[in-house]
């Protein structure tokens, strides 16, 4: 099968928008970095205020306040773009086919904060180009793009309805150096080289890595967003092609949501890696995860 090329970005290399640890092109965020993570107490459960408090009325200021509560501090321009994205998501989420999450505070916590908090954990420096495998409605790839405009990103999503939505968001927000790869990701289909892959999908690390057989060279990174059960995968992980370079457990501030940022580095590419790594399992969709199922 001839490999498909998801498109090449032409922007500058990786960089963050601001805060401590941002790249040289970043803008200062002062004492708090855009996307900074931390640990907090569980004042909200499952995206809803405790104690019978009323749900939060959707608005751009409320979105900024919610994200700040969850450890994500945005520049005004980034908040503008995220609010525009949110409006498109709510308008086009027919039958919940883009996301099953519908509550304003729930979406802010379990989609936006869950993805954007990574920017702080990565110190504003993202490998570029980066492909988001099983992005769904753009999580985390679209959120990373809003936080780090200079990072070249490809959103891999095979379902036509979501592909159309992602392409519309890119047009409406005027985003550059971000494209959509509207196919299943297998070692035969994704042949363009990338500096890194990222995924928030359910599939295990062991089953996901072969999909990157043709896309990651030596030194390439496979970034996984995992829940607390990641410890079991890490304990059982064995590979002669990858090594774990980061295994960072954290909690989204002011929630009970425990997360793990797991990063693997490729150390070896065997001859004819794409052919040897391919198997029929790769033809299954990589289902993006709504974090409430994690």
Domains of the chain: 123-293 (3.40.50.150)
What is the pLDDT, as a whole number, of residue 271? 81
Alpha helices by DSSP H, 5-75: 60-69
The mean pLDDT value for 251-273 works out to 92
pLDDT confidence of 44, banded at 50, 70, 90? very low
**Distance separating alpha carbons of residues 266 and 243, to the nearest angstrom:** 7
Higher pLDDT, 107 or 20: 107
> Quick check: 190 and 6 in contact, CB under 8 A?
yes
Q: What is the pLDDT of residues 244-255, one digit of tens each?
A: 999 999 999 999
What is the pLDDT, as a whole number, of residue 278? 53
What is the pLDDT, as a whole number, of residue 282? 56
Cβ partners under 8 Å of residue 188, min gap 6: 1, 3, 214, 274, 278, 282
Residue 113 pLDDT greater than 70, yes or no: yes
> Quick check: 146 and 118 in contact, CB under 8 A?
no
What is the pLDDT, as a whole number, of residue 29? 38
Structure tokens at 64: 């900024």
**Distance separating alpha carbons of residues 175 and 203, to the nearest angstrom:** 29
Measured CA distances, 194 to 62, 127, 215, 261 (Å): 36, 9, 6, 19
Average pLDDT, the chain: 82
- Other C-beta atoms closer than 10 Å to the C-beta of 50 total 10
Provide the strand spans (E) within 54-184: 130-133, 153-156, 178-181
Cβ partners under 8 Å of residue 265, min gap 6: 219, 220, 221, 222, 242, 243, 245
pLDDT confidence of 243, banded at 50, 70, 90? very high
SS (H, E, C) 231-243: HHHHHHCCCCCEE
What is the pLDDT, as a whole number, of residue 28? 35
Closest CA to 153 of 196, 122, 124: 196
What is the pLDDT, as a whole number, of residue 280? 56
Which has the minimum average pLDDT: 147-161, 162-176, 212-226, 227-241? 227-241
What is the pLDDT, as a whole number, of residue 294? 38
Backbone CA torsion sign across 134, 140, 143, 147: negative
The mean pLDDT value for 79-108 works out to 94
Higher pLDDT, 8 or 136: 136
> Quick check: 195 and 273 in contact, CB under 8 A?
no
What is the pLDDT, as a whole number, of residue 274? 47
Which has the minimum average pLDDT: 65-69, 180-184, 287-291? 287-291
Q: What is the pLDDT of residues 51-90, one digit of tens each?
A: 334 578 999 999 999 999 999 999 999 999 999 999 999 9
The mean pLDDT value for 164-168 works out to 97
What is the pLDDT, as a whole number, of residue 115? 98
């Amino acid at each position: 099968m001839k490999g498909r090329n998801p498109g090449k970005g032409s922007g500058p290399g990786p960089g963050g928008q601001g805060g401590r640890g941002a790249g040289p092109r970043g803008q200062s965020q002062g004492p708090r970095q855009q996307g900074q993570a931390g640990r907090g107490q569980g004042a909200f459960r499952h995206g809803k205020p405790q104690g019978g408090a009323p749900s939060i009325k959707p608005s751009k200021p409320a979105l900024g306040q919610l994200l700040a509560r969850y450890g994500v501090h945005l520049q005004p321009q980034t908040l503008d773009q995220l609010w525009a994205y949110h409006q498109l998501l709510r308008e086009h989420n027919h039958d919940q086919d883009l996301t099953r999450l519908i509550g304003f505070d729930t979406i802010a916590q379990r989609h936006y904060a869950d993805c954007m908090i990574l920017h702080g954990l990565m110190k504003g420096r993202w490998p570029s180009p980066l492909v988001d495998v099983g992005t769904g409605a753009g999580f985390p790839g679209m959120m990373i793009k809003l936080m780090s405009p200079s990072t070249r990103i490809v959103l891999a999503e095979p379902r036509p309805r979501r592909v159309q939505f992602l392409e519309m968001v890119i047009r409406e927000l005027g985003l550059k150096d971000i494209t959509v790869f509207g196919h299943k990701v297998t070692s035969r289909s994704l042949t363009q080289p990338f500096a890194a892959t990222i995924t928030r999908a359910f599939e295990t690390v062991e089953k996901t890595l072969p999909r990157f057989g043709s896309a990651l060279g030596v030194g390439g990174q496979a970034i996984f967003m995992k829940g607390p059960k990641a410890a079991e995968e890490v304990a059982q992980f064995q590979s002669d092609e990858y090594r774990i370079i980061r295994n960072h457990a954290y909690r989204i501030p002011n929630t009970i949501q425990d997360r793990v940022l797991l990063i693997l580095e490729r150390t070896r590419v065997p001859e004819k890696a794409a052919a040897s790594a391919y198997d029929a399992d790769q033809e299954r969709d990589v289902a993006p995860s709504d974090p409430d199922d994690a």
